Structure 1
Amino acid sequence: MKILPLNSIAKKSGFVLLLVLMTAIGWIAASFTAETQEVDISYQRYFNDNYKIFSLNTPAGITFAGEKVPLEIEDVRESLDRELLVNTYWQSQGLLFHKRANRWFPVIEPILAEQGVPDDFKYLAVIESGLDNVVSPAGATGYWQLMRETGREYGLEINNEVDERYNVEKSTVAACKYLKAAYARYGNWTMAAASYNVGMYGLAKQVDRQKADNYYDLLLNSETGRYLYRTIAVKEILSRPAQYGFHFRPKDLYQPYETYDVKVDTAVSDFTEFAFQNGINYKILKILNPWLRDTYITNPDRKTYAIKLPKPSETGMVPYELRPEQKALIDTLSSDSIK
């Protein structure tokens, strides 16, 4: 019998051990992979059974501002379908639209009625700004996204101290003036709405070029081409939220601010002091009066401004509880903050 050297035996033993180890690892890996695949298959099956995305019915007989939307035209129907899908399945945006509408529609609706503008135009403010005081890259500002020149043309004060584009009541009046002027020019509210996006001159240019004076017959740029359909889709979804999968409890919706007005016809040197003197802080003053663009107003013309302050309420914005040091500061203040 041949006796192998010890180092040869050790090498063979090591090889056998390595082979056994690799086999064991391979078996474990195969078992784990099989188990993982089974879990993945089960998960995918559950997903397929429970996750559903539905197409939407196109509403019949829909109108905007009392004017019929011609859904019998294929591209009109498909354009509205696109905006219904986008705005239904962009759920976070839809939720915010519903919540904010509960706060701001009660402010906007009576102004539209008073100005003789159809109620449907409140949805224009929704698609313009999301009912938020935003500023576009082009400089359009506020709930109605008015440009500086347009705002001034329709009666708004816009300067470094006061910008009434941020005032929802006054900017709504200005938007109404524009829309009535556009209606007088084009003879229907649909074209007036389109001109709000592209401008009266821009729309008139396309009317002359294409020899068509109906929004649904015009080929417009992508943004304006979608503009009215977005407005109509938002009207449909906000008017019938449950049909589009949006469900709310009353407490989920943003409540209207309960306020009263303080008339100021002088300069105010420091709005922080002004806020303290009226039992609130500067933040609350600015939330309620975003049109105040600086910490003071010089008011050289002695105009009368209505500054909103919160009423005590369990559901609305309550007056701010001043800290002791703030109360002490008020005691030291004279009337110098209001001159």
Structure 2
Amino acid sequence: MISRLKKHLSGISVAVVLLCVSPFLLSAHCIGSDKEKEKVDNNRYSCVEVPEYVVFCGDTIDLTRYDRHERMDRELMAFSYMHSTSIQTIKRANRYFPIIVPILKEKGIPEDFKYLMAIESACNPLARSGAGAAGLWQFMPTTGKEYGLEVDSHIDERYNVVKATYAACKYLKNAYEKFGDWVSVAASYNAGQRRISQQQERQYTDETLDLYLVEETARYIYRIFAVKLLFDDPSEFGFYLRSSDLYPQIHYRTVKISETITDLARFAKSQGTTYALLKNLNPWLRDTSLPCRNGKEYEIMIPEKDKMNYKREFTMPYSRNWVVDK
């Protein structure tokens, strides 16, 4: 009995020690100089302050009303303490923002929608939800096909960064024609255009932020606002990254294919790369072969052999606000 009591008290002691130490583990950062560590120490116990307003797609959103303030506060805390997810999202964004932002601009979609992509997938082109949504923009199979993406057992263009971004632009433009404001468009990306329209009619308001919605959708817009603030200044959230911590863009050449490839591994070898690297750079290739039907042409990215090695000193940050070595 005494030995059991000692064991129990020992467990309590460990728990107490962990509780005492854990506040010192709260700040997540990529370590650098003593000066950087001092900045982290100074911000260890702080919470990101909820601003009075945010600007989204050129519109100023008032956050002073208690419900909006508290919703925003929840999402800011979530991004502050989901350390690994928040940091990795920034790292990946350095690779993918330079690809998607020019497409958004080309199609007349506000640049702020890159933050929608960030919360959809954490900037992971391989992301897949339990419901079956896939890729950076998390298209469901039926929606992907509706907006021009090929989705079958061999090819799934939801994982094609460029094509999926163009498809997302089609959806966003279509939704804007329906709603006429970008906040409603963003909400509809989560809930569907029909549901947002129905709730606006039932609740007698076109102001989407004033709608009573299921929790996932109610949080969705504020998550976009919060991640925008995260990208504006990661240090406010306690994250101190160096340029070398960010993921660089991958250098590649493009091979156009209009005839069936029966063995992608053999094709990869003939192109001077490996099957694993081929699939990594072209995750839309879902099988071991690539059938080309009806004269359809595909573009396959082949990594440049002499530029595959990680050279941290040459990694350029997409935004200088993301890093401490400005």
TM range (shorter): 0.7 to 0.9
1:73 aligned residue: 65
Equivalent positions of 1:91-240 (< 5 A) are 91-132=83-124, 133-240=126-233
Q: Tell me if 1:253 matches 2:246.
A: yes
Say if 1:317 and 1:297 are closer, same or farther in 2 by CA, change over 3 A.
farther
Equivalent positions of 1:263-274 (< 5 A) are 263-274=256-267
2:320 aligned residue: none
Say if 1:45 and 1:294 are closer, same or farther in 2 by CA, change over 3 A.
closer
1:63 aligned residue: 55
Say if 1:317 and 1:173 are closer, same or farther in 2 by CA, change over 3 A.
farther
1:26 aligned residue: none
Shift of 1:317: 7.1
How many angstroms apart in 2 are the aligned matches of 1:200 and 1:95?
32
* Structure 1 gaps, min length 5: 1-28, 319-339
How many angstroms apart in 1 are the aligned matches of 2:310 and 2:84?
24
Deviations 1:55-88 (A, max 9, x none): 2211244111111111122211111111011101
Moved more, 128-137 or 265-274: 128-137
Say if 1:317 and 1:45 are closer, same or farther in 2 by CA, change over 3 A.
closer
Shift of 1:314: 4.5
How many angstroms apart in 2 are the aligned matches of 1:260 and 1:141?
25
Q: Tell me if 1:84 matches 2:72.
A: no
How many angstroms apart in 2 are the aligned matches of 1:180 and 1:75?
30
Shift of 1:300: 2.0
Matched to 2:288, the amino acid is T
Q: Tell me if 1:302 matches 2:295.
A: yes
Q: Secondary structure in 2 aligned to 1:69?
A: strand
Shift of 1:176: 0.8
TM-score by length of 1: 0.78
How many angstroms apart in 2 are the aligned matches of 1:216 and 1:237?
21
How many angstroms apart in 1 are the aligned matches of 2:269 and 2:80?
44
Q: Is the 8 A contact 2:251 2:307 kept in 1?
A: no
* Structure 2 gaps, min length 5: 1-5, 25-40, 312-326
How many angstroms apart in 2 are the aligned matches of 1:148 and 1:198?
16
Say if 1:79 and 1:161 are closer, same or farther in 2 by CA, change over 3 A.
same
How many angstroms apart in 2 are the aligned matches of 1:160 and 1:194?
31
How many angstroms apart in 1 are the aligned matches of 2:281 and 2:169?
22
How many angstroms apart in 1 are the aligned matches of 2:71 and 2:22?
34
How many angstroms apart in 1 are the aligned matches of 2:265 and 2:151?
22
Q: Is the 8 A contact 1:163 1:293 kept in 2?
A: yes
How many angstroms apart in 2 are the aligned matches of 1:315 and 1:153?
36
Shift of 1:316: 5.1
Shift of 1:45: 9.9
- Runs ≥4 residues deviating over 6 A: 45-48
Q: Is the 8 A contact 2:52 2:62 kept in 1?
A: no
Say if 1:317 and 1:166 are closer, same or farther in 2 by CA, change over 3 A.
farther
How many angstroms apart in 2 are the aligned matches of 1:58 and 1:187?
27
Say if 1:175 and 1:266 are closer, same or farther in 2 by CA, change over 3 A.
same
State the aligned residue count: 280
User: Which of the pair has more CA radius of gyration?
Assistant: 1
Highest RCO, 1 vs 2 (Cα 8 Å, sep ≥ 6): 2
Shift of 1:92: 1.1
1:25 aligned residue: none
Moved more, 219-228 or 67-76: 67-76
Say if 1:104 and 1:45 are closer, same or farther in 2 by CA, change over 3 A.
closer
Q: Is the 8 A contact 1:258 1:317 kept in 2?
A: no
TM-score by length of 2: 0.81
Q: Identity, % of aligned pairs?
A: 42
Q: Is the 8 A contact 1:256 1:316 kept in 2?
A: no
